[in-house]
Structure 1
């Protein structure tokens, strides 16, 4: 199966769709309502988090350099009540406008083992917004899945950026190959866990014909796979065979 390759237009299109959906969801409930998928957060916490991320990313890409910068979010006054939603909308609009006007090949630092370009952050913001849009919708008991192609790219992002950067939720070493299959996106991934590290076996290479000695197989929709990797749903929403415990080592967040 071929690997989906995203683009600036693809990710911006997703951002423009999920941003308004996030805003609509948080506007339906009191800001102090709990977010079931993020047990320690209320709706306003979710609004503040996403708005501050947008602000930090704007500052990062606007530097125009690949030099490292501190990951600590900016200290800003967090508005409450109706002002929180107005502030979030302003941050979202400013982010989309900035990313839309930048060359995706322009230098920009990131924390992952990826090329230090603006394109990383266009992709990252599309997925950050999609997952938190889903979170917001859990507060109104009306969740919609992440769009299949976007979710498939989100799975790839977990495997090519988050895990190689050491952002695994589970710290215990794990060994073996996990095979993930997104039935609605015609995508699959082989991931070899090597103790503290991992390797993504690209299915567009000669490795296609090799025996990967898979220890666990997880099959489902791209959205369910992505949300399971982010710890939003349990792996039992998928069709799992083999050593299911290996999947826990693929979780991030």
Structure 2
């Protein structure tokens, strides 16, 4: 079943590891270096994108209100003479200061069908940063895996947040149960696809009607599962059995 590893401290700890790793990769690459996992983007684009998301989240996550913020993340440009990485570092430092003081139970808007609480955002930013850290490292031919517990929670986030919010990469109709197994995290997930809808199941409910057998099974490391769900690696790189066409209904981003 799906188990959240996360608490505010867990996600902030992940950000404290993933943020500097992202910065180190960016510092090693010329700004115009292509980001192969984000076609059309350079390392500078990736850096400014993440900085913009941090700034956008800071604009409302600590305001103590659940109302929808105006606007969306927009690319920000550094002032003359300021490198993209320096701007990113400023935004990262301010985001971490906000999160350190944040009450995760305080009201805060989010775009998911979940309680509108501030704790949503440290989790979201931890995974946003981890995946983009992998992107940045791939640009310098590195690409270290996402730590297993963080990656397992990232898989859960895709299944309990992104897919129920309708944020699939491709629109379509899929029907059947998919089983995902993270071999290095002793964790598995069952997801029933219902056309455009989804239902994340636990082991106590997967036998609630006759069509309970998983039509597709995928196993691999938690990091590879997460990266496949985000379209960074192909599901073909994992151990797949059953109907692989269902897996396109799990991709987000």
By the TM > 0.5 criterion, same fold? yes
Q: Deviations over 1:30-70 (max 9, x none)?
A: 00010111111000000000000000000121321011223
Residues in 1 aligned to 2:206 and 2:236: alpha-carbon distance in whole angstroms = 27
Q: Which runs of 5+ in 2 are unaligned?
A: none
* Residue 10 (structure 2) pairs with residue 36 (structure 1): no
Q: CA RMSD in A?
A: 1.6
Aligned-partner SS, 1:138: helix
Aligned-partner SS, 1:12: helix
1:76 deviates by 3.7
Q: Which runs of 5+ in 1 are unaligned?
A: none
- The match for 1:114 is 114
For this pair of structures, how many residues does the alignment match?
251
CA gap 1:40/1:81 in 2 versus in 1, 3 angstroms: farther
- Is the CA contact (8 Å cut-off) linking 1:31 and 1:81 kept in structure 2? no
Q: Report the TM-score when normalising by structure 2.
A: 0.95
1:83 deviates by 2.0
Residues in 2 aligned to 1:2 and 1:73: alpha-carbon distance in whole angstroms = 30
* Residue 91 (structure 2) pairs with residue 91 (structure 1): yes
- The match for 1:136 is 136
- Is the CA contact (8 Å cut-off) linking 2:230 and 2:251 kept in structure 1? yes
- Is the CA contact (8 Å cut-off) linking 1:168 and 1:252 kept in structure 2? yes
- Is the CA contact (8 Å cut-off) linking 2:49 and 2:75 kept in structure 1? no
- Is the CA contact (8 Å cut-off) linking 2:48 and 2:76 kept in structure 1? no
- The match for 2:18 is 18
Residues in 2 aligned to 1:93 and 1:246: alpha-carbon distance in whole angstroms = 40
- The match for 1:153 is 153
Residues in 2 aligned to 1:74 and 1:144: alpha-carbon distance in whole angstroms = 28
Q: Deviations over 1:77-133 (max 9, x none)?
A: 345776211111010010011101111111100000111111100100000000000
Q: Report the TM-score when normalising by structure 1.
A: 0.95
